[in-house]
Structure 1
Amino acid sequence: MRRVLAVLTTMIVMTGASEASQIERACLKSDRAYGKRQLCRCIQSAADLTLTAKDQKLAASFFSDPHRAQEIRQSNSRRHERFWDRYESFGRTAETFCRG
Protein backbone atom coordinates (compact mmCIF):
# COMPACT_ATOMS: atom_id res chain seq x y z
CA MET A 1 0.00 0.00 0.00
CA ARG A 2 2.81 2.42 0.84
CA ARG A 3 4.47 1.67 -2.47
CA VAL A 4 1.26 2.46 -4.37
CA LEU A 5 0.85 5.75 -2.48
CA ALA A 6 4.47 6.67 -3.20
CA VAL A 7 4.00 6.01 -6.92
CA LEU A 8 0.75 7.99 -7.04
CA THR A 9 2.32 10.90 -5.16
CA THR A 10 5.27 10.92 -7.54
CA MET A 11 2.94 10.92 -10.54
CA ILE A 12 0.93 13.83 -9.16
CA VAL A 13 4.05 15.87 -8.39
CA MET A 14 5.54 15.16 -11.82
CA THR A 15 2.31 16.15 -13.55
CA GLY A 16 2.23 19.43 -11.65
CA ALA A 17 5.88 20.10 -12.44
CA SER A 18 5.35 19.52 -16.14
CA GLU A 19 2.49 22.04 -16.14
CA ALA A 20 4.36 24.57 -14.00
CA SER A 21 6.29 27.50 -15.39
CA GLN A 22 4.31 27.68 -18.63
CA ILE A 23 4.63 31.44 -18.81
CA GLU A 24 8.33 31.38 -17.94
CA ARG A 25 9.02 28.86 -20.70
CA ALA A 26 6.98 30.84 -23.24
CA CYS A 27 8.74 34.03 -22.18
CA LEU A 28 12.18 32.45 -22.59
CA LYS A 29 11.26 31.23 -26.08
CA SER A 30 10.08 34.66 -27.17
CA ASP A 31 12.44 36.93 -29.06
CA ARG A 32 11.73 39.86 -26.72
CA ALA A 33 13.07 38.13 -23.62
CA TYR A 34 16.35 36.87 -25.07
CA GLY A 35 18.89 36.66 -22.25
CA LYS A 36 16.40 37.80 -19.63
CA ARG A 37 15.94 34.62 -17.61
CA GLN A 38 15.51 36.56 -14.37
CA LEU A 39 12.73 38.69 -15.88
CA CYS A 40 10.89 35.62 -17.19
CA ARG A 41 11.21 33.96 -13.78
CA CYS A 42 9.78 37.08 -12.13
CA ILE A 43 6.87 37.18 -14.57
CA GLN A 44 6.17 33.52 -13.77
CA SER A 45 6.13 34.34 -10.05
CA ALA A 46 3.53 37.04 -10.68
CA ALA A 47 1.49 34.54 -12.70
CA ASP A 48 1.66 32.00 -9.88
CA LEU A 49 0.14 34.60 -7.55
CA THR A 50 -2.66 35.76 -9.83
CA LEU A 51 -3.54 33.12 -12.44
CA THR A 52 -4.79 29.55 -12.30
CA ALA A 53 -2.90 26.83 -14.18
CA LYS A 54 -5.55 26.99 -16.91
CA ASP A 55 -5.20 30.78 -17.09
CA GLN A 56 -1.42 30.44 -17.33
CA LYS A 57 -1.73 28.03 -20.23
CA LEU A 58 -3.89 30.49 -22.14
CA ALA A 59 -1.67 33.47 -21.23
CA ALA A 60 1.46 31.57 -22.29
CA SER A 61 -0.08 31.10 -25.74
CA PHE A 62 -0.05 34.88 -26.19
CA PHE A 63 3.75 34.86 -26.47
CA SER A 64 3.60 32.89 -29.72
CA ASP A 65 0.24 34.25 -30.90
CA PRO A 66 -0.25 37.87 -29.72
CA HIS A 67 -3.39 38.18 -31.85
CA ARG A 68 -5.01 35.54 -29.63
CA ALA A 69 -4.81 37.99 -26.71
CA GLN A 70 -6.74 40.54 -28.74
CA GLU A 71 -9.38 37.96 -29.64
CA ILE A 72 -9.84 37.00 -25.99
CA ARG A 73 -9.96 40.63 -24.86
CA GLN A 74 -12.64 41.51 -27.43
CA SER A 75 -14.65 38.33 -26.96
CA ASN A 76 -18.24 38.55 -25.72
CA SER A 77 -17.78 35.36 -23.71
CA ARG A 78 -18.30 35.82 -19.96
CA ARG A 79 -15.54 33.27 -19.34
CA HIS A 80 -13.12 35.34 -21.44
CA GLU A 81 -14.16 38.51 -19.62
CA ARG A 82 -13.42 36.92 -16.25
CA PHE A 83 -10.08 35.63 -17.56
CA TRP A 84 -9.20 39.09 -18.89
CA ASP A 85 -9.87 40.64 -15.46
CA ARG A 86 -7.44 38.14 -13.91
CA TYR A 87 -4.97 38.68 -16.75
CA GLU A 88 -4.97 42.45 -16.18
CA SER A 89 -4.35 41.85 -12.48
CA PHE A 90 -1.45 39.60 -13.46
CA GLY A 91 -0.06 42.35 -15.69
CA ARG A 92 -0.20 44.92 -12.90
CA THR A 93 1.42 42.49 -10.47
CA ALA A 94 4.20 41.60 -12.91
CA GLU A 95 4.83 45.27 -13.65
CA THR A 96 5.12 46.08 -9.95
CA PHE A 97 7.28 43.07 -9.04
CA CYS A 98 9.50 42.91 -12.10
CA ARG A 99 10.53 46.49 -12.75
CA GLY A 100 14.22 46.56 -13.17
Structure 2
Amino acid sequence: MTKHLIAASLLAIALPMTAFAGPIESACNKSDRKGASRALCSCIQQVADMTLKGGDQRKAAKFFSDPDQAQKVRMSKSDRDNEFWARYKNFGETAAAYCGG
Protein backbone atom coordinates (compact mmCIF):
# COMPACT_ATOMS: atom_id res chain seq x y z
CA MET A 1 0.00 0.00 0.00
CA THR A 2 2.79 2.42 0.89
CA LYS A 3 4.56 1.73 -2.42
CA HIS A 4 1.39 2.58 -4.33
CA LEU A 5 0.92 5.79 -2.37
CA ILE A 6 4.50 6.87 -3.04
CA ALA A 7 4.19 6.02 -6.75
CA ALA A 8 0.92 7.94 -7.01
CA SER A 9 2.48 10.95 -5.29
CA LEU A 10 5.45 10.95 -7.63
CA LEU A 11 3.16 10.63 -10.64
CA ALA A 12 1.04 13.54 -9.42
CA ILE A 13 4.14 15.70 -9.17
CA ALA A 14 5.47 14.75 -12.61
CA LEU A 15 2.22 14.98 -14.59
CA PRO A 16 1.68 18.74 -14.38
CA MET A 17 5.10 19.30 -15.89
CA THR A 18 4.56 17.02 -18.86
CA ALA A 19 0.94 16.22 -19.56
CA PHE A 20 -0.73 19.58 -19.23
CA ALA A 21 0.97 21.85 -21.72
CA GLY A 22 -1.51 24.42 -22.97
CA PRO A 23 -2.36 24.94 -26.62
CA ILE A 24 0.09 27.80 -27.14
CA GLU A 25 2.96 25.92 -25.49
CA SER A 26 2.23 22.77 -27.49
CA ALA A 27 2.08 24.66 -30.79
CA CYS A 28 5.23 26.59 -29.92
CA ASN A 29 7.15 23.41 -29.07
CA LYS A 30 6.04 21.77 -32.33
CA SER A 31 6.96 24.77 -34.46
CA ASP A 32 10.23 25.10 -36.32
CA ARG A 33 10.66 28.72 -35.27
CA LYS A 34 14.18 29.91 -34.66
CA GLY A 35 14.81 30.58 -31.00
CA ALA A 36 11.90 28.49 -29.74
CA SER A 37 12.82 26.54 -26.63
CA ARG A 38 10.85 24.64 -24.04
CA ALA A 39 11.51 27.40 -21.51
CA LEU A 40 10.37 30.16 -23.87
CA CYS A 41 7.29 28.21 -24.99
CA SER A 42 6.40 27.57 -21.35
CA CYS A 43 6.79 31.26 -20.54
CA ILE A 44 4.59 32.24 -23.47
CA GLN A 45 1.93 29.78 -22.28
CA GLN A 46 2.05 31.34 -18.81
CA VAL A 47 1.32 34.73 -20.35
CA ALA A 48 -1.45 33.20 -22.46
CA ASP A 49 -3.00 31.78 -19.29
CA MET A 50 -2.99 35.27 -17.79
CA THR A 51 -4.31 37.13 -20.83
CA LEU A 52 -6.35 34.80 -23.07
CA LYS A 53 -9.30 32.50 -22.46
CA GLY A 54 -9.22 28.92 -23.73
CA GLY A 55 -10.93 29.58 -27.06
CA ASP A 56 -8.61 32.48 -27.80
CA GLN A 57 -5.61 30.32 -26.91
CA ARG A 58 -6.71 27.58 -29.29
CA LYS A 59 -7.27 30.11 -32.06
CA ALA A 60 -3.89 31.76 -31.48
CA ALA A 61 -2.13 28.38 -31.34
CA LYS A 62 -3.22 27.74 -34.93
CA PHE A 63 -1.15 30.73 -36.03
CA PHE A 64 2.03 28.74 -35.36
CA SER A 65 1.22 26.28 -38.12
CA ASP A 66 -0.71 28.70 -40.36
CA PRO A 67 0.67 32.26 -40.10
CA ASP A 68 -1.53 33.35 -43.00
CA GLN A 69 -4.53 32.78 -40.75
CA ALA A 70 -3.23 35.48 -38.39
CA GLN A 71 -3.11 37.92 -41.29
CA LYS A 72 -6.68 37.04 -42.29
CA VAL A 73 -7.91 37.64 -38.74
CA ARG A 74 -5.96 40.89 -38.45
CA MET A 75 -7.40 42.21 -41.72
CA SER A 76 -10.93 40.99 -41.03
CA LYS A 77 -13.71 43.53 -40.78
CA SER A 78 -15.77 41.49 -38.31
CA ASP A 79 -16.19 42.89 -34.82
CA ARG A 80 -15.51 39.46 -33.34
CA ASP A 81 -12.15 39.16 -35.12
CA ASN A 82 -11.23 42.74 -34.22
CA GLU A 83 -11.99 42.10 -30.56
CA PHE A 84 -9.93 38.90 -30.67
CA TRP A 85 -7.07 40.73 -32.38
CA ALA A 86 -7.00 43.36 -29.61
CA ARG A 87 -6.72 40.59 -27.01
CA TYR A 88 -4.12 38.75 -29.10
CA LYS A 89 -2.06 41.92 -29.56
CA ASN A 90 -2.11 42.52 -25.80
CA PHE A 91 -1.00 38.91 -25.27
CA GLY A 92 1.87 39.32 -27.74
CA GLU A 93 3.09 42.57 -26.20
CA THR A 94 2.86 41.11 -22.70
CA ALA A 95 4.68 37.93 -23.75
CA ALA A 96 7.47 39.96 -25.34
CA ALA A 97 7.91 42.01 -22.18
CA TYR A 98 7.53 39.09 -19.74
CA CYS A 99 9.45 36.44 -21.65
CA GLY A 100 12.08 38.67 -23.20
CA GLY A 101 11.13 37.57 -26.71
TM-score with structure 1 length normalisation? 0.77
Residue identity over aligned pairs, in percent, reads 53
SS of 1:31's equivalent in the other structure is coil
Point out the structure with max Rg over C-alpha: 2
Query: Could you list the runs of 5+ residues in structure 1 that have no partner in the other structure?
Result: 1-17
Q: Deviations over 1:22-45 (max 9, x none)?
A: 000000000015761000000001
> Deviating runs (4+, > 4 A) in structure 1?
none
- Whichever residue aligns with residue 41 of structure 1, its letter is S
The aligned length equals 83
Letter in 1 for 2:32: D
Cα distance in 2 between the residues matched to 1:79 and 1:60: 17
Q: Distance in 1 between matches of 2:47 and 2:23?
A: 12
User: Is residue 47 from structure 1 mapped to residue 48 from structure 2 by the alignment?
Assistant: yes
TM-score, structure 2 as length reference? 0.76
User: Which has the larger helix fraction?
Assistant: 1
In the alignment, what sits opposite 2:96? 95
The CA distance in 1 between the partners of 2:69 and 2:78, in whole Å, is 14
Q: What CA distance in whole angstroms lies between the structure 1 residues aligned with 2:85 and 2:49?
A: 16
Supply the RMSD in Å over aligned alpha carbons. Answer: 1.9
- 2:30 aligned residue: 29
